[in-house]
Structure 1
Amino acid sequence: MILSDKTLLKMLEAKSLIIEPLEKKQVQPASVDIRLGNTFSIVEDSSTGIINLENEIKYKTITSDTYILLPNQFVRVLSFAQTFIRRYKAFFIYQINKK
């Protein structure tokens, strides 16, 4: 589902979507720009596009201001959005379930 900037702003205001810290200029027409850090952990063997969680996952960690994500590659990177780091250790947007 693609959400408009108006819908995203309403969700942020209603706290059904939480991104902290967030500057209003990060909200784009159909997305929210997430500011990433400069430390990337790259899964060493993701050539098959499948990661078996039963085996130890080996990462190569690099520090760089830019990174080009290759097809079928898995990369872990921290964001400046503290809510994501504290709750999820990732940079994905999450939506709160209302029950």
Structure 2
Amino acid sequence: MITVTKPSDIAMYLLFDITKLKRGCYIVLRLNERNQIIEKVIFDNLEDIPKDMFGVLVMYHSEAYPSEDQIKLAAIFENMKDFIVMGDENFTSFLEKRLISHFRKNKA
């Protein structure tokens, strides 16, 4: 089981199937109370994500960094530990650096 303590933990978890994901999807990595990933759920729309889900919200799209609107949208999910955006034009960079991220908040 992977425990999320730093961004690269999430990157390594997603690395193997990032190429199979479609741009514009939202991934929630559900965490337990010890911040271990227990499930990966993929949503097509932000509105489909239950507001009380606890985990890490990952957006996969064509830009490298989140826009202000995307950050505002992610902020509605109070139980999300982190908000991460990955862009596919930086896929090589993603592999090298392991993650392109923007941390919204760091709840324990």
TM-score between the two structures when normalised by the length of structure 2: 0.31
More strand by share: 2
TM-score between the two structures when normalised by the length of structure 1: 0.33
More helix by share: 2
Larger radius of gyration: 1
With a CA cutoff of 8 Å and minimum separation of 6, indicate the structure with the bigger relative contact order: 1
